[in-house]
Amino acid sequence: MSDLERQLRAFVHDGDVPVPHVPDMVERVAAGQRRHRQRRLAVVAAAACVVAGIGVAGVVLRGGHDHAPGPAASPACGTVTIRSVGVGPDELLLVLDGPAARPCALGQGVRITVGTGASATSTTVPATVTPVLLGVGQRAMVQSSWRNWCGEANPVARVDFPDGSTATAELGPDTPTCTDPATASSLDFRRTQLVDVPTGESEEPSPGQGAS
């Protein structure tokens, strides 16, 4: 605030301060007030820009965080299907068709289950098994030993993958013999391996086929 403005304010409030004779006093006071308002508006505008900038940055960061795709958004094994099944006296063979996009690992944590409810039996691929990477357009065989089935007819086999996806297939009437109803059915993983994909139609694989 200038000396002139202070004198004018004191005069308005107290009435005892003489106002000097200045020919353009009114214009000078008005100009000073305009400059003061302009400075205040500039400060407010700058502060608003800073706040707006922070707000926009926050929106962008939050939007990127909320919409960033995660690994689980599209499970690699989500499109794997059970193409065919084979059941022997003590064996279960599942043939899997490969995924549509990304390779699916057939290794530790993959769980095979047969049946539902109290009669269900399951097995999990152990950590000691070297994972088999099932790629697009490939096919894999999963072999397990299966004994003493006393559960429902036409049970369903289900493969649960660590990424949360599943594949299912009905096994049909051919199941291992029920040798002891008081004993639970046993299902034990044996091996998994890639198999050739024929160019045309081929006959279904039979249990026990493949290398040990």
Q: Where are the domains of the chain?
A: 3-67, 81-195
* pLDDT tens-digit readout, 49-94: 544 444 434 333 333 333 333 444 468 999 999 999 999 889 999 9
What confidence tier does 38 reach under pLDDT thresholds 50, 70, 90?
A: low
DSSP state of 119: G
- What is the spatial distance between Cα 201 and Cα 161, in angstroms, rounded to a whole number? 28
Alpha-carbon distances, residue 135 vs 53, 105, 193, 209 (angstroms): 47, 9, 12, 21
The SS3 assignment for 63 reads helix
The CATH architecture assigned to 81-195 reads Sandwich (2.60)
* pLDDT tens-digit readout, 105-136: 999 999 999 999 999 999 999 999 999 999 99
pTM: 0.60
DSSP string, 129-181: SPPEEE-TT-EEEEEEEEE---S-SS-EEEEE-TTS-EEEEE--S-------T
- What is the spatial distance between Cα 99 and Cα 77, in angstroms, rounded to a whole number? 6
Place of tokens 């152990």: 126
